[in-house]
Amino acid sequence: MTTTAHSAVQVLPTYLADQRVTQARVLRSEWTKLRSLPSTSWSLLTAVVLIVGGFLPSAWTDPIYKYLALPAGTAVTNVRHDPMSLGPWAGFGLFCLYTAIVLGLAAWQLHRRDA
């Protein structure tokens, strides 16, 4: 038993010595991430939505804002009702719907990728 632990200790430094972080390995890793079409497209789409959404007039964004996840979840904890937000139960229901959608997508991805 001591010999296996001793041999594992001897193998460990050689394994770690091969895994040095170099600039070439980091660039290769980042390039692999960028090559993936779905991750690149989602990253670009998210950036465009966030950037363009900041420049839209408030007449367009105010009706949509109360249906996003943050204001819907905050509507549950508000003491005074804000006319720009949903009611407590509607906010809670919408927040639960967002949670169910995210969990459903995660389960679908797990089932699809992991046999």
Tens-binned pLDDT, residue by residue, of the chain (115 aa): 444 544 444 444 444 456 677 777 777 777 776 667 777 787 788 888 878 877 878 888 888 888 888 888 888 888 887 777 888 898 899 989 999 999 999 999 888 887 5
Q: What distance in Å separates the CA atoms of residue 69 and residue 67, rounded to the nearest whole number?
A: 7
Q: Beta-carbon neighbour count of residue 11 at 10 Å?
A: 10
Distance CA 89, CA 78 (A): 11
DSSP state of 19: T
Q: In the prediction, which pLDDT does 9 show? A: 47
Query: Rounded to the nearest 5 degrees, what angle is found at the Cα of 25, between the Cα atoms of 23 and 27?
Result: 70
Q: Give residue 34's pLDDT.
A: 67
What pLDDT is attached to residue 84? 75
Say which DSSP state 81 is in.
Answer: P
Place of tokens 């890793």: 29
Q: What is the pTM of this model?
A: 0.53
Torsional sign, CA 101, 102, 105, 111: negative
Q: Which amino acid is at 33?
A: K
Q: How far apart are CA 80 and CA 98, in angstroms?
A: 24
